[in-house]
Structure 1
Amino acid sequence: MMEALHNTPCLTVIRERRSTVSSCPVSHVQISCSCQYCAFPLNGNDLCIWSISNPTEEPIILKGHHQPITAVTLSYGMNPCLVCSASPDYVILWKMDECKSSLLEGRLPRGRVIGTLLGMVAHLEFHPDGKKVAACARNKILILSVECEDVLAELAGHLGSVNAAKFCPWQDNLLVSISEDRTFKVWNYHAESLVFQSAVLSAFPLLKMYIDAEKKQLVTGCADGQLRVFSLLEEHHFRPVCQIDLQKENHNFLQKFQESGQLDKSGLATSEIKNVSWKNSAKDKDTVIMDSSFPVLYIHKFKQSLVETEISFFGHPRLLWVGSSSGFILINMENCEVEASLNFSDYDNLSIMLVGSCALASNVDKKVYCLLTSMFSNQVSLIEFDALTLMRSQHQGVQAHRSVIGLSIVSSEPLLSTSPLCMEASKKSISLKTIGVKNTVKDQPLVFHKKVKSSGYSAAPRMKMFSPKTNIKKTIEPSKVKKNIQSGIMKEYPLKSSAPNIPWKQLSVASKPTAVSCIQYSGDGKKLACGLSDKSILLFSSDFSGEPSVFAGHDGTVNGLGWSHDSNWVVSSAEDNILKIWSVKNADPVLVMGKGMFSKPVRFPQFYYMDTFILLSSGAEFHILKYSLDDAKDDLKRYKQKSWCKSVQKFQMDTAVEITGLSAVNDFYSYLVLAVGSNRTLEVFDLNLNCSVATIPDVHPRAAHQICQNKGSAFSTQASEAYNLFATTAIGDGLKLWDMRTLRCVRKFEGHVNRCQPCGIAISPCGRFIACGSEDRSAYIYDIHSNTYLQKLSGHTQTVINVAFNPSSPQLTTATLDGKLQIFVS
């Protein structure tokens, strides 16, 4: 055996601790690495054990197999440490403390045979209790006893070789397996029965798997570099949660790393890291394989307690190390993004550049240890790298384009005199107040001269009609008390209520199919406004009793609606390039802004800054408008328009052709406005500083069509940090949840179908749920703390294009392309 020790670090990030060369190939066998030891086949039928903590310690060679070893596994977190090795002749269990004692006494270590002549074993896995071992032999899974040579169960059903199997940590009788037949199966190995079988997932075989005990999810890795996540909860019917293209995400991460300036033109990074392979400038021809494939060879959890990463609203993220033939990447399972990337070809001090099999341990003195075997040679090496140093150096580059200003939706700074929001501060605001009341004529009798006796005003009444009883005790009916309380005092939104999922009512907005382009509840939850493709606006009561009020006057599809904070006014925009403001008490518009004011169509109108301004977008600009409304009734002067509106300021997105989403908070004072454009960039504008303060590039692969902020409501109370959450959605990419403080995606939600229609989203007033429309004639409700959907609301007749939560009660309204409204309650 030839072995070399590398104790002098060549780089601050990574170094090679040990290496050796086997006389037989070891490229495609299962190897294992734990906090104490790493184990691998050597020279065919020998088992070699290296110490992790002491690299100078002599390797332990265990002999007992007569044929080449094909699989090795170590027990995790068990004392004493157990090692199991398999070959076509035997499956042998070794106890490390006994093996060490035997070597110290000069005796040959001996293991216990727990399986004989099982054939080609591709994978071994210990049960968490250490009393059973699962052996994947061809297309079967055999459950072996550790105490004696006994097959406890035999599971057969896969059509191809089983590549991996794992026991379910939270349910003792379940086991999950993946196979060359491109499916996974869930077994009840106590009863030797099949619980669930997936469909064919890919054109490529499933190679590796990992079970997340915390989220109760299965993560599978495929030969084409696809990571697929499934829920293992039986009530979820083992449904898919998300799919991650590892090569694509890694490329995007490295591209941001290069664009940030951390790499110079020669490919050398300032942190002594070279990024070579992704730019097609590999050191040797073998590394070009990375450009065409990214097979998943290993999946392992990264201990979060040792990670000094930024903490979002949800705490530390779930991180997984995913090993491939060219390196390791650290995946954030909450947002499906890469946190760090380690490419073997970027380091000259490593002896293995292309890996055949690998194993990893990540909780040893805050270091990560990787056991690697070469794909085309018989080399085996143990490398060590500092994950925190790697992450810091790369995040300095990736985060360089993001602002370091601590942004918050809730305002904490005083309003500056230079802010456009301060323009009218010194003047008394007359917005939303009737200025024509003083000019109205007071009602008076026809004859009112006191000297005219016939008028009846010169004498007092001469008779008393009745004498009321004043000694009666006043009582109020309980129903009236409840009504008075509801009308006078706001009820608290039930924060612990379940998501609305019970169908309550269904109605049509028109006699013929008419698309509902937008819906929005008023702030008091008493009315629902619906914009239709037939150019009209309908106002329903929240109990949907009686006929709706109809507002007509637009000459195009209504594309946007917004309620005032006091719920008395509605602002609307349409494809006719006209903005209108309506009073809920009158079907005539109070304010009309014509086509001459904006050169491009008006989108996303809303009241802003506690009804002080109107916010809207036109092309690549968004405008702040100051206004005053007059709804006084004067028949003599009804044609004289006293309402007015003027532009305060406009802001331009840098490289966008059009703003595709705009959002701001109106329920409380906030300086921030969020805009996303056709350039797929989200830009944050601080209207107190009167400038753009941050940008997030490539929010989605396509332009986002909606920004939805967690605005809460007057009926609910949330932590101030919760208002920093906002969601974006785009066609073909699901929806993402972002944290304003870090400008990072903290959750990604997939499950609904959104391939061609801009389906809307909404966040519940309690901040716990996100609802979204879907093209499969359903609406989906996601738990904001989970990655999979909580409810699927079926029964719609067409694509669900819009959703809206009632701010005062657990009520969800969905709208479809054919003009149907469906209301769900909890």
Structure 2
Amino acid sequence: MPPKDDLELQKLRKELDDLMTKIKEEQNKAADKTLEDICGDVASAPKVRLTTKKLLKGHINKVNSIHFSGDSRHAVTGSLDGKLIIWDTWTGNKVQIIPLRSSWVMSVAFAPSGNYVACGGMDNMCTVYDLNNRDSTGAAKIVRELLGYEGFLSSCRFLDDKTIITGSGDMKICLWDLEMGKRSLEFEAHSGDVVSISLSPDSSSYLTGSVDKSCRLWDLRDDKPKQTFFGHTSDVNSVCFHPSGYAFATGSEDKTARMFDIRSDQNIATYHPPNNTSGFTSCGLSLSGRYMLCGSDDSSVHIWDTLKNQHNGCLTGHENRITSLSVAGNGMAVATCSWDQNVRVWV
């Protein structure tokens, strides 16, 4: 006979599975319409015709992450060559090159003000750099090294110059006070690695995506999820708030992208690529929310008309897996980075 503790654990797991099944059944009962059904009489969106305006070359290894600054002009990229590069995406010039202590960078973030960048990865820490101050070598000065993670740093986003939120492979979310160098909040957010974070348009809440196949909505002041969203059958690699703040998009390893509605607590649209052979690593939405863009393992960016659930085309040019995608705050450009060592700005 199994030990008593094992029997108790099996009983609790079954109880949890039954509850999850019941929640999903209740959700399905309320799912009377999809976004495509509601928008049946809406005209199809025009075909997106973006081209590579700037091809940014400078990294000599895989580029893993990219993020636009709040000015919609500058962007930061992190690569396995052990460098962060600050780019002027309008001219294609490098503004700063920052050498890293660890080359295993997985996530980068630009503060909305443009004063700071942060990065982290397999070094299990988040490092914050002040772009307006230089150290003795002439590189941007390290102002904080945020330690204490028990897993890799997978995602980070600045709320402002004094606050940053991070997700990591130890399943935790941390909210940091950068002036004090201390955590304001720390809690276990998922039952698997947290791999993506997206802030709401008003910066009062945020979303997380995880390898546990779920997404969660959080209030910045609390450590309890407001809502949990199911539907994906594999890792949720990317989450992105809709500009309205009432919905969000996701990209997953299960070869689908989805739109979830927060108010109805539902998956309201599922987007499939024409070939259906590659998972999605990153996702973004246009300024209106009408177009969804997803970077893929097949080296292209897939675009959908979100309302009509129609595949609108692909952005091609990268020669390897697209790892990260960032839409400029003003909606005028999209930047992508890839294992082909290049960064492309699409306009």
Please, what TM-score do these two structures have when normalized by structure 1?
0.36
Tell me which amino acid in the other structure corresponds to 2:141. P
Which residue in the other structure is 2:228 paired with? 695
Equivalent positions of 1:63-462 (< 5 A) are 259-260=21-22, 316=38
Which residue in the other structure is 1:591 paired with? 143
User: CA 1:755/1:583 → structure 2, altered by over 3 Å: closer, same or farther?
Assistant: farther
Which residue in the other structure is 2:108 paired with? 561
* Alignment partner of 2:255 out of 733, 737, 762: 733
Cα contact 2:255–2:273 (8 A) shared by 1? no
2:207 counterpart of 1:658: no
* Alignment partner of 1:668 out of 193, 198, 202: 202
Shift of 1:817: 0.9
2:335 counterpart of 1:813: yes
User: CA 1:532/1:565 → structure 2, altered by over 3 Å: closer, same or farther?
Assistant: same
Tell me the distance in 1 between the aligned counterparts of 2:181 and 2:213: 32
Cα contact 1:769–1:783 (8 A) shared by 2? yes
User: CA 1:800/1:754 → structure 2, altered by over 3 Å: closer, same or farther?
Assistant: farther
Tell me the distance in 2 between the aligned counterparts of 1:661 and 1:696: 14
User: CA 1:703/1:261 → structure 2, altered by over 3 Å: closer, same or farther?
Assistant: closer
Tell me which amino acid in the other structure corresponds to 1:316. I
* Alignment partner of 2:86 out of 532, 539, 551: 539
Cα contact 1:504–1:822 (8 A) shared by 2? yes
Tell me which amino acid in the other structure corresponds to 1:683. R
Report the count of equivalent residues. Answer: 318
Which residue in the other structure is 1:552 paired with? 99
SS at 1:260's partner residue?
Answer: helix
Tell me the distance in 2 between the aligned counterparts of 1:647 and 1:726: 27
- Structure label with greater radius of gyration: 1
Shift of 1:753: 6.0
* Alignment partner of 2:57 out of 508, 513, 516: 508
User: CA 1:564/1:261 → structure 2, altered by over 3 Å: closer, same or farther?
Assistant: closer
User: CA 1:548/1:768 → structure 2, altered by over 3 Å: closer, same or farther?
Assistant: same
Shift of 1:676: 3.0
Tell me the distance in 1 between the aligned counterparts of 2:212 and 2:309: 27
Cα contact 1:726–1:739 (8 A) shared by 2? yes
2:163 counterpart of 1:613: yes
Cα contact 1:508–1:820 (8 A) shared by 2? yes
SS at 2:233's partner residue?
Answer: coil
Cα contact 2:58–2:342 (8 A) shared by 1? yes
Which residue in the other structure is 1:677 paired with? 210
Contiguous gaps of at least 5 residues in structure 2: 1-16
User: CA 1:795/1:726 → structure 2, altered by over 3 Å: closer, same or farther?
Assistant: same
User: CA 1:312/1:775 → structure 2, altered by over 3 Å: closer, same or farther?
Assistant: closer
* Alignment partner of 1:646 out of 182, 202, 223: 182
User: CA 1:569/1:502 → structure 2, altered by over 3 Å: closer, same or farther?
Assistant: same
Shift of 1:756: 6.4
Cα contact 1:754–1:774 (8 A) shared by 2? no
Cα contact 1:796–1:816 (8 A) shared by 2? yes
SS at 2:22's partner residue?
Answer: helix
User: CA 1:752/1:761 → structure 2, altered by over 3 Å: closer, same or farther?
Assistant: farther
Tell me the distance in 1 between the aligned counterparts of 2:275 and 2:227: 31
Shift of 1:646: 0.6
Shift of 1:499: 3.6
Describe the superposition over 1:126-161 as per-residue Cα deviations: whole angstroms up to 9, x where unpaired: xxxxxxxxxxxxxxxxxxxxxxxxxxxxxxxxxxxx
Tell me the distance in 2 between the aligned counterparts of 1:593 and 1:661: 20
Tell me the distance in 2 between the aligned counterparts of 1:776 and 1:669: 33
RMSD, matched Cα: 3.2
User: CA 1:611/1:592 → structure 2, altered by over 3 Å: closer, same or farther?
Assistant: closer
* Alignment partner of 1:783 out of 284, 290, 305: 305
Describe the superposition over 1:149-192 as per-residue Cα deviations: whole angstroms up to 9, x where unpaired: xxxxxxxxxxxxxxxxxxxxxxxxxxxxxxxxxxxxxxxxxxxx
User: CA 1:565/1:310 → structure 2, altered by over 3 Å: closer, same or farther?
Assistant: farther
Cα contact 1:579–1:602 (8 A) shared by 2? yes
Shift of 1:593: 1.7
Tell me the distance in 1 between the aligned counterparts of 2:93 and 2:21: 59
Q: Taking CA–CA contacts closer than 8 Å with sequence separation of 6 or more, which of the two structures ends up with the larger relative contact order?
A: 2
Shift of 1:529: 0.8
Cα contact 1:501–1:791 (8 A) shared by 2? no
Describe the superposition over 1:723-765 as per-residue Cα deviations: whole angstroms up to 9, x where unpaired: 2221112113321111111221111111166756652211122
Tell me the distance in 2 between the aligned counterparts of 1:588 and 1:820: 23
Contiguous gaps of at least 5 residues in structure 1: 1-254, 264-307, 319-495, 629-643, 713-721
Tell me which amino acid in the other structure corresponds to 1:503. T
Cα contact 2:36–2:269 (8 A) shared by 1? no
Which residue in the other structure is 1:203 paired with? none
**Larger proportion of strand:** 2
Tell me the distance in 2 between the aligned counterparts of 1:727 and 1:769: 11
Cα contact 2:258–2:270 (8 A) shared by 1? yes
SS at 1:259's partner residue?
Answer: helix
Tell me the distance in 1 between the aligned counterparts of 2:290 and 2:278: 28
Tell me the distance in 2 between the aligned counterparts of 1:527 and 1:497: 28
Cα contact 2:197–2:206 (8 A) shared by 1? yes
2:104 counterpart of 1:528: no
Shift of 1:652: 1.5
SS at 1:691's partner residue?
Answer: coil
Cα contact 2:282–2:294 (8 A) shared by 1? yes
SS at 2:335's partner residue?
Answer: strand
SS at 2:38's partner residue?
Answer: coil
